[in-house]
A and B are shown apart, each in its own frame.
Chain A
Amino acid sequence: MSPSEKTRRLSSMAPGESGKVVRVSRENPDRADKLMALGVTPGAPVTVLQRFPGVVFLCDHTELAVEPAVARAIVVEIE
């Protein structure tokens, strides 16, 4: 399996799946800054906890709730 097949957007991950953040899209810089400040930076371990009614995931030891558009901007390498 090539590395690119192992990377997915956080929005497409199922509850219980985890991985490491590869990058955060900078197409919306404010959003990227905000996520970075909350610890969503390359290398950070993430686990998706829930997808509905909002996306909830664990990043390191911080539980974060985001709307779907934000989850789409986070690219994760699945473990």
Chain B
Amino acid sequence: MSCAQAAVRDPAADSALTLRARPRRVALVGNANVGKSVLFGRLTGQYAVVSNYPGTTVAVTTGRVVLGGEVCELIDTPGVAALDGALTEDELVARRILGEGEADLVIQVADARNLRRGLMLTSQLSAIGRSMVLVLNMIDEARVHGIAIDAAGLSARLGIPVIETVATEGRGIAELRGALGRAAVPVFEASHRGDHARLAHDLAVQYRRYRRRSAARVQERLGRLVREPVTGVPILALVLYGMYLAVGVFGAQTLVELIEGGLFERVINPAAAALVNRVLPWAVARDFLVGEYGLITMGMTYAIAIVLPVVATFFFVFGFLEDSGYIPRLAIFSDRIFRSMGLNGKAVLPMVLGLGCDTMATMTTRILGTPKERLIAVLLLALGVPCSAQLATILGILGGVSFSALVTLFAVVLMQMFLVGFLAARALPGERSEFIMELPPLRLPQLRNIVRKTLLRVRWYLGEAVPLFLIGTGLLFALSRLGALTKLTAATEPVVVSLLGLPRDASAVFIMGFLRRDYGAAGLFQMSKAGELDGVQAVVALTVMTLFVPCVANFLMMVKEQGLKAALGILGAVTVIALGTGAVLNVVLRGLDVAF
């Protein structure tokens, strides 16, 4: 039933134009990584983040769309493997939409290459009894693999429209819109009731044809190269080195030099200072904008000149990796390590996503199988995974010190993550789930999608992080004006100076680090540039900062996902571990007389 026809049949309505209490709801449902979000974008004209791995969408996105002459609400749901049995948190999100009568109409999206799995879900959907349309997406890739599907035959057999699409290119979208009016509850014979797998298998055998052997040879060969340890490990090293060149050298050095050294120090800050000095007669106001802790000279300089260039380059490179299908393959290598930390290989996804943003990654822990796994993953993200903004400042500072300084920092952080994970796996109650993971196909990413994703994420960074940078700067300014900064500095001196061996001024930086650790690190960047930190101090300070809880937003997300008690526990544990590690590292490095 299309929205318009549905309106006619609705007892409360006598025409398609009647106002209703709520718009008709149409849900996009399907297995993971079949292209629901692409289709969502095609139908609504609204961009939902699209990547090539299962678990990109872990919450519901809604958008307005005109279907059959009526404004409907289109709901993009997280991918599901099944609708009954043991479900993960993100699958439950999708299940709820179907269960509680939230959706009036279902568009099931299936990967044309995996007809059996798609039909198994169709069979489960028919048991729920919603009117639906079946979309066979990625029909182009199926053809490359030599698969042909008799869509008309399948449609006649099930009694629902079956539409073939290539959502990324917009092919089949018009047909899909037209077919919604014919949506119906699929018909299955009574003999098959309940045995979804058997039914799906029989139908797939009947309506799917294999033609000559597939032309997807290159894809298969590449798949083997990244998967097998002999070639896969060198490839991983190359990928990491490539990222270092793009983000650490080009982003953190070339671009930052250009924007911070060139634009801000030479043009913007002097111009702002000159203007403010001429316009504002009050010294306090002048200081507030362009002083030592000025909104422009400190807040904007940190946010725009030091962090933004690296965040933007990182998101671009990361978007490429996401869309290539490479990241989930790292799960094969890391499964054993993660298992000793109470997780399984699947945890590589939230961990790597954390390099983009720990807050988002904390939400992605929903794809993990058990509450224990989710808790450990959230803890490790908060403890050790530096987000792109944090990476920015790490690379900016240690890039200028030495490569061995960089290696020391990452080695210490990884070791701590492993140790904490290992202990948490034994101390916390509960089980880990088994490692069973679907690997998405390797693909050549589309530049358009990468650019869109990068812009979306940069805009998000500007909206999320910049205000906090400014608030933090304002706070520092107020503290310094009221003389409280000196007192705070004195109070934290035992920790900062005696325990960590850092200069007194580092206290202010650590206070900022509690708001956002990249902001604290940006402060370290300034100190190191001014020659106030030696190599050991830079490594110790950055290690402590990296081990801190990422930012206020991340903390709030922890509360949302794990509850206040767990979040406070993590905050406390992480802070103690961070300071303890810094203290030990300081003693060891000084004891060994390391100079970097």
Residues of A participating in the B interface, judged by any CB pair closer than 8 Å: 28, 30-31, 33-39, 41-44, 49-50, 52-54, 56, 60-67, 69-70
Contact = CB atoms under 8 A, between A and B. Distances in A.
B116 A39 contact: yes
Nearest to B80: A37
Contacts of A63: 223, 438-439, 441
Contact of B436 (A42, A49, A70): A70
B436 A38 contact: yes
A66 B117 contact: no
A37 B114 contact: no
B434 A31 contact: yes
Contacts of A67: 335, 339, 344-345, 434-436
Contacts of B439: 56, 63-65
Given A64-B439, A70-B435, A53 B85 contact: no
B113 interface: yes
Given A35-B436, A62-B438, A65-B332, 13 more contacts: A36-B120, A37-B85, A37-B117, A37-B120, A41-B197, A42-B197, A60-B116, A64-B439, A65-B439, A67-B344, A67-B435, A69-B434, A70-B434
Contacts of B426: none
Contacts of B86: 30, 33-34
Interface stretch (B156-164, B224-232, B563-571): B224-232
Given A63-B223, A67-B434, A53 B332 contact: yes
Contacts of A64: 436-439
Chain B interface helix/strand/loop/mixed: helix
A44 to B, nearest CB: 7
B331 interface: yes
Contacts of B198: 41-42
B345 A54 contact: yes
Interface in B160-187: none
A53 B201 contact: no
A12 B203 CA distance: 30
B31 to A, nearest CB: 8
A50 B331 CA distance: 14
B145 interface: yes
> Interface size for chain B: under 10, 10 to 19, 20 to 34, or 35 or more residues?
35 or more
A31 B435 CA distance: 10
B479 to A, nearest CB: 51
Interface in B408-465: 433-439, 441
A73 B113 CA distance: 25
A54 B435 contact: yes
15 contacts: A33-B85, A38-B117, A38-B436, A53-B229, A53-B333, A53-B335, A60-B113, A61-B147, A62-B114, A64-B437, A64-B438, A64-B439, A66-B436, A67-B335, A67-B344
Contacts of B224: 49-50
B117 A56 contact: no
Given A41-B201, A44-B201, A49-B224, A60 B434 contact: no
Point out which of A33, A42, A56, A61 has the most chain B C-beta atoms below 10 A from its C-beta.
Answer: A61
A41 B203 CA distance: 14
Contacts of A53: 229, 332-333, 335-336
Interface in B319-337: 329, 331-333, 335-336
B577 interface: no
Given A53-B335, A56-B227, A43 B436 contact: no
Contacts of A28: 434
A36 B436 contact: no
Contact of B332 (A56, A69, A70): A56
Contacts of B116: 39, 41, 44, 60
A33 B200 CA distance: 15
B243 interface: no
A66 to B, nearest CB: 5
Contacts of B151: none
Contact of A49 (B114, B197, B227): B227
Contacts of B229: 52-53
B434 A66 contact: yes
B82 interface: yes
B573 interface: no
Given A33-B86, A66-B434, A54 B114 contact: no
Nearest to A64: B438
Interface in B68-98: 81-82, 85-86
- A-B CB proximity, top 3 nearest: A33-B85, A37-B82, A37-B81
Point out which of A33, A42, A65, A69 has the most chain B C-beta atoms below 10 A from its C-beta.
Answer: A65
B498 to A, nearest CB: 45
Point out which of B114, B120, B436 has the most chain A C-beta atoms below 10 A from its C-beta.
Answer: B436
B348 to A, nearest CB: 11
A59 to B, nearest CB: 9
Contacts of A49: 224, 227
Nearest to B85: A33
Given A34-B81, A49-B227, A65 B117 contact: no
A34 B339 contact: no
A31 B82 CA distance: 13
Contacts of B339: 67
B335 to A, nearest CB: 5
Given A39-B114, A56-B332, A60-B114, A66 B437 contact: yes
Given A42-B197, A65-B332, A50 B438 contact: no
Given A37-B85, A67-B434, A61 B113 contact: yes
A65 B54 CA distance: 13
B188 to A, nearest CB: 16
A44 B114 CA distance: 11
Interface string B114-126: 1011001000000
